[in-house]
Amino acid sequence: MSENTSVNEHWSSQFAFILAALGSAIGLGNLWRFPYLVGENGGGAFIIIYLAFILLISIPALIATIMVGRRGQCNPILCLEKVSRQEGLSPKWGALGWLLVLSAYFLLTVFSVVASWILDFLSFAITDGFDGINASNAGMLYDNIKANPVRMSMWHGVFMGLIMFIVGKGIRKGIEKAVKMIMPALFIIQFCLVIYSLINGNAAAAFDFLFTPDFSKINMSVILLAVGQALLTLSVGGAGMLVYGAYIGDNVSIPRSSLVIAGMDTVVALLAGLMIFPIVFQYGLVPDQGPGLMFVTLPVAFGQMPGGDFFAILFFTLLLLAALSTGLSMFEPVVAWFKDQRGVSRVAGALIVGIATWLVGLFNVFSFNIWSEIRPLSFISSLKDLSIFGSVEYLTANLAMPMGSILISIFVGWMITEKMRAEEFTNNTNPKYYKYWHFIVRYLVPSAIAIVFIASFYN
């Protein structure tokens, strides 16, 4: 395809774009990682540091990512080639697009496996329930699910089928229509769960855990955690945000939209703590994060609380909605590439990418059972214990995505012309903020990401 290739679909409104971008940002990390990080690392003190980095680092980087997408009006690979040519730069910057798209694709093969666990637990909550379940039985249920390759492959396929169906229908009739249902449902379910948890749980202990400032816990490691979470939560430098930016028109203010996205994302993350930890403390359970919290700790709480089975269904539905909205933004960049540069229809592209993702995802499925002994990175001493699943997650989330974020900030902050930067930033936005944003995206953003990247790699 020529360098003039551009998308022929756009969001119907700025509101639709914000909902889609929120869906990309509000992922499982908001629900199972952020609240625990807050509680264990200084509560309100951690929140203050986190919000400062959201404002100073993440929002400027998000603006830069969306800006490139709108300027190029196509998939990330072609977009970076196209903008580079417009700016008199080498089209080899398209290689950065490949890095972003492949990172999103391989992370989706991991993400879909986690979504398969959510679907399985949702099914169990509907058909059997968690009444009377203890920690040992909950752990056994989780282990049995992971040990069954056929069952995991089936739910992995169901999740990918949902993603294929939605993306295959296009931007307005597919992704936009879906997020207009998914995101309000997610907000309503979370609100109901927060109210229920505060009424029936130990709200005082949860507020103390989450919001009481403890500055004695703040050290360089905690600051790096705050920076890393602030960058991760908004999909900074991600292919999904870039391609979603390609579908917005000139009437959209990118800075204002980015502020709304960041604000709502933070609210959801904080409410997640009030949804989870009152229940955890009420039943004397140990605060946790990640799969251990979602698939072991909380089912035990659901098994003891009044109306637990109903709220377990709501909770795992909430997780599924968050996984689905994030999965759409990982899937769309690859489908857009097939559509733009291989000339296939959107339906065919979604089918090709979906089947390929399911097949590649089987490697991650099998890493929990029949291939559990395989260690792809055994030649690296610090990574020798990682399974296939762990290796793919590490290489994408800890290496490829931070590298992509650094390069996007360098591309926007240093490589493109002042004219393009100013045009995109000041479109429907007060120009007095431009010079501050430019300084941050040029110096602070790449420096912050590089520090977190190096520290993570060193650890």
- pLDDT at residue 459, rounded to an integer: 63
Q: Most distant CA pair in the chain: distance in Å?
A: 66
CA distance 25 to 244: 12
Predicted confidence (pLDDT) per residue in 8-65, tens digit:
689 999 999 999 999 999 988 888 888 888 888 899 999 999 999 999 999 999 999 9
- pLDDT at residue 7, rounded to an integer: 57
Beta-carbon contacts of 198 under 8 Å, excluding residues fewer than 6 positions away, are 206, 274, 278
- pLDDT at residue 37, rounded to an integer: 86
48 token code pair: 């203050």
- pLDDT at residue 1, rounded to an integer: 34
- pLDDT at residue 22, rounded to an integer: 96
Residue 337 near residue 75, CB atoms below 8 Å:
yes
**pLDDT means per 10 residues in the chain (459 residues)?**
56 96 90 85 92 93 95 94 94 94 94 96 93 89 95 98 97 97 97 94 92 90 85 84 94 94 94 91 80 87 89 95 96 94 93 97 96 93 90 87 91 94 88 93 91 76
Residue matched to tokens 């939209």: 257
Residue 207 near residue 46, CB atoms below 8 Å:
no
In the chain, what are the domains?
14-458 (1.20.1740)
Beta-carbon contacts of 327 under 8 Å, excluding residues fewer than 6 positions away, are 108, 111, 112, 115, 159, 163
- pLDDT at residue 227, rounded to an integer: 85
Beta-carbon contacts of 12 under 8 Å, excluding residues fewer than 6 positions away, are 172, 176
Buried-exposed string 363-394: b where 16+ CB fall within 10 A, e elsewhere: bbbbbbeebeeebbbeeeeebeebbbbbbbbb
Cα→Cα distances 43→28, 37, 47, 222, 283, Å: 20, 8, 6, 11, 21
